[in-house]
Structure 1
Amino acid sequence: MKRIRPRRIITTLCLSALLFLSALVSQSYAAGKGPLKIETKEGVIQFNVEYAITQEKKAKGLMFRNSLGPREGMLFVYQSPTTVTMWMKNTPISLDMFFINRRGVIRYIEEKTQPNSTRHIDSRGKVSAVLELRGGSAEDFGIKVGDRVILAK
């Protein structure tokens, strides 16, 4: 029986996290938007998302949008894991917010946010990305905490 080495596991996890984030950043600069998949227990769902990498793009987010398609969204990417606070000010549509850790795993979901609200929505810990989809998407597609976000090619 082969002995499992904790240091090797940690190194592998850290490398996976770096690859996840570097893929996010390189694709986002190239196109500004692109495909993203969420791997659920029921299967894989594909979305087309805009990337919010710059501070300016993160600050504007999906503000002033009157509609969002059922498979459209925005992915906010952070250079290093951080605690994130979002709000719905000037956003007239309800959203589901998926807070994603450095391994691409959804760690918290805020469902069906109230449009135009100034209530702060906290990530409940450090995350590397936040995905915003149309309100009700978590329920409609069966997306749950623990599901994995994958950048499609």
Structure 2
Amino acid sequence: MRKCIKGIFIFSLTTGMLFSCANEPKESSIETEEILFTKEGELSFLKGGEVERTIDIEIADTPYERETGLMYRKSLGENQGMLFIYSNEASRSFYMKNTYIPLDLIFYNKDSIVVSFHENAVPLTETSIPSNFPAQFILELNAGKVEEWNIETGDKIRFTRD
């Protein structure tokens, strides 16, 4: 009788393990929704007080938005950018961790004047990209825009929120 109970127990245990393994989900990648651009304002580039061009901007003005920026984005439109807004002018430094898009970064002081820029930041790197001077606003654009749009130190921006 003991042998029979022991055999039933082992059979039940083995069968249970087989069926529980068979029902485990197979490994799969998690599908995530693409993060899309949300227009929150417009930004104009000025030279000599004249508007050269205007683009749509998404604004990063909370700690979480500034920390995340354009991370995990797969694209940025031709005439779009992300403007980081801080409450004060200070030395700023960015990196490209989890950022898939090559970018140009433009640093502006409290008067919205270009104090420095970094062209063609390499995606997915943690190399520090510092401003050369204290900055209050930082604009991220697709790589190549600084050269294409002839953005120079001393140029100015003006922006509005929607």
The normalised TM-score by structure 2 is 0.71
Superposed, 1:103-114 pairs within 5 Å as 103-114=111-122
Aligned to 2:47: 40
Instruction: Report the Cα offset of residue 40 of structure 1.
Output: 2.9
Which structure exhibits the higher relative contact order, with contacts defined as CA atoms closer than 8 Å and separated by 6 or more residues? 1
Which whole-Å CA distance do the structure 2 matches of 1:44 and 1:145 have between them?
15
Q: Which structure 1 residue ranges, 5 or more long, are not aligned?
A: 1-30
The number of residue pairs the alignment matches comes to: 123
In the other structure, the counterpart of 1:148 is 156
SS of residue paired to 1:89: coil
Q: Mark the structure with the bigger radius of gyration.
A: 2
Q: Distance in 2 between matches of 1:125 and 1:60?
A: 23
**Once the two structures are superposed, what CA deviation does each residue of 1:120-153 show, in whole Å capped at 9, x if it has no partner?**
0011221111000111111111111111011158
Identity %: 32
Give the SS at the match of 2:130. strand
* Alpha-carbon RMSD: 1.8
Q: Deviations over 1:103-134 (max 9, x none)?
A: 11011010011011110001122111100011
Q: Write the distance in 2 (CA, Å) between the matches of 1:50 and 1:130.
A: 12
CA distance in 2, matches of 1:73, 1:108: 17
Q: Which residue of 1 aligns with 2:136?
A: 128
Q: Which residue of 2 aligns with 1:78?
A: 86
- Runs of 4 or more, structure 1, over 6 Å off, are none
Q: CA deviation at 1:99?
A: 0.2
Q: TM-score, normalised by structure 1?
A: 0.75
| Paired residue type of 2:57 | V
| Mapped contact 2:116–2:133 kept (Cα < 8 A) | no
